[in-house]
A and B are shown apart, each in its own frame.
Chain A
Amino acid sequence: MYSLVKYYHPYISPFDPCPPMKVKSYRTPPNLYIGFQPPSLPQFSPREALAHGTLWPIFYSPYPGKGKEEMTRE
């Protein structure tokens, strides 16, 4: 199984003017990995499908928003 977020550690200079964000991230949504959609995939119920924006769980890509990854310095 693939991950929907990738992380990397950018170079940090001793001369950087601001406190460093040590970990950066980027999103890799499921469509990058699936190719042509296989037939007969499991489906959400209609109500769940509307809430998720897709009929198929394998294409669902949650996005938590702020307060995560590089938004927080550690």
Chain B
Amino acid sequence: MWLYEKKLQYPVRVSQCNPRLAKFLIEQYGGADGELAAALRYLNQRYSIPDKVVGLLTDIGTEEFAHLEMIATMVYKLTKDATPEQLKEAGLAPHYANHDKALFYHNAAGNPWTAEYIQAKGDPIADLYEDIAAEEKARATYQWIINLSDDPDLNDGLKFLREREIIHSQRFREAVEILKEEQGKKKFF
């Protein structure tokens, strides 16, 4: 089970009215390397992975939901006061036609989220290597969004999220070392 704390993991500030950024940010919401895909991937893989690393997948999968919430807040703030005309200018007319201002799990190109984005192979090394790759891809996606955005307050939150991807990658790499079981054995090959 989960306990919910009614606050964001890191404060989300948006200083400029620029709905166009919402179109890019939605990549991290419902994209292949987005936070939803990450959370569902890890929380599902953990059932069939050695006990030593189950807790890590639970913790990181949970944190991904906290990130999802931050992205949702950013997108909502950027779009909630936009007129249909402004949404059209921002390239969001197709989204508006289907969803009004509701958030939806699709990527920046409008493709809906699909479970094909994630994998559970049942092989612990294969699954952890996928997780490491997912974190590096998410880090890269944050970099490209930061490059597209000139809102310093929004970028502050995005830089926090980018750093968390680096830490998650580090922990998955350590999980691989734990499963290799050579850690700390002072064995020299």
Does A associate with B in a complex? yes
Nearest neighbor of A27 in chain B, beta-carbon distance: B143
CB of A36 within 8 A of chain B?
yes
A24 to B148, CA, bound (A): 17
The number of residue pairs between A and B whose CB atoms lie closer than 8 Å in the complex comes to 60
Q: Which residues between 150 and 184 of chain B lie within 8 Å of chain A, taking CB atoms? A: 150, 155, 159-164, 166-167, 169-170, 173-174, 177, 183
Nearest neighbor of B173 in chain A, beta-carbon distance: A31
Q: Is the CB of B166 within 8 A of A31?
A: yes
CB of B47 within 8 A of chain A?
no
Supposing A50-B10, A65-B155 touch, asked if A59 and B170 sit within 8 A by C-beta, the answer is: yes
Chain A residues near B159: list those with CB within 8 A. Answer: 53, 62-63, 65
CB of B139 within 8 A of chain A?
yes
CB of A20 within 8 A of chain B?
no
Chain A residues near B146: list those with CB within 8 A. Answer: 63, 65-66
Q: Tell me how far the C-beta of A36 lies from the nearest C-beta in chain B, rounded to whole angstroms.
A: 5
Q: Is the CB of B170 within 8 A of A53?
A: no
Chain A residues near B140: list those with CB within 8 A. Answer: 27
Q: Tell me how far the C-beta of A42 lies from the nearest C-beta in chain B, rounded to whole angstroms.
A: 16
Q: Which of B147, B149, B183 contacts A36 (CB 8 A)?
A: B183
Q: Is the CB of A29 within 8 A of B177?
A: no
A52 to B160, CA, bound (A): 6
Q: Is the CB of A53 within 8 A of B164?
A: yes
Chain B residues near A71: list those with CB within 8 A. Answer: 147
A51 to B13, CA, bound (A): 13
A61 to B183, CA, bound (A): 26
CB of A60 within 8 A of chain B?
yes
Supposing A36-B177, A61-B166 touch, asked if A66 and B139 sit within 8 A by C-beta, the answer is: no
A12 to B177, CA, bound (A): 42
Q: Which of A61, A62, A65 contacts B147 (CB 8 A)?
A: A65
Chain B residues near A41: list those with CB within 8 A. Answer: none
Chain B residues near A35: list those with CB within 8 A. Answer: 173, 177
Nearest neighbor of B152 in chain A, beta-carbon distance: A65
| B interface residue numbers (CB < 8 A to A) | 10, 139-140, 142-143, 146-150, 155, 159-164, 166-167, 169-170, 173-174, 177, 183
List 9 tightest A-B contacts by C-beta distance, closest first: A53-B163, A31-B170, A53-B160, A65-B146, A29-B166, A66-B147, A31-B169, A36-B177, A31-B166
Q: List 23 A-B residue pairs with CB atoms under 8 Å apart, sorted by A's residue number.
A: A29-B139, A29-B166, A29-B169, A30-B166, A31-B167, A36-B174, A50-B10, A53-B160, A53-B161, A53-B162, A53-B163, A53-B164, A54-B164, A54-B167, A59-B167, A60-B163, A63-B159, A63-B162, A65-B146, A65-B159, A66-B146, A66-B148, A71-B147
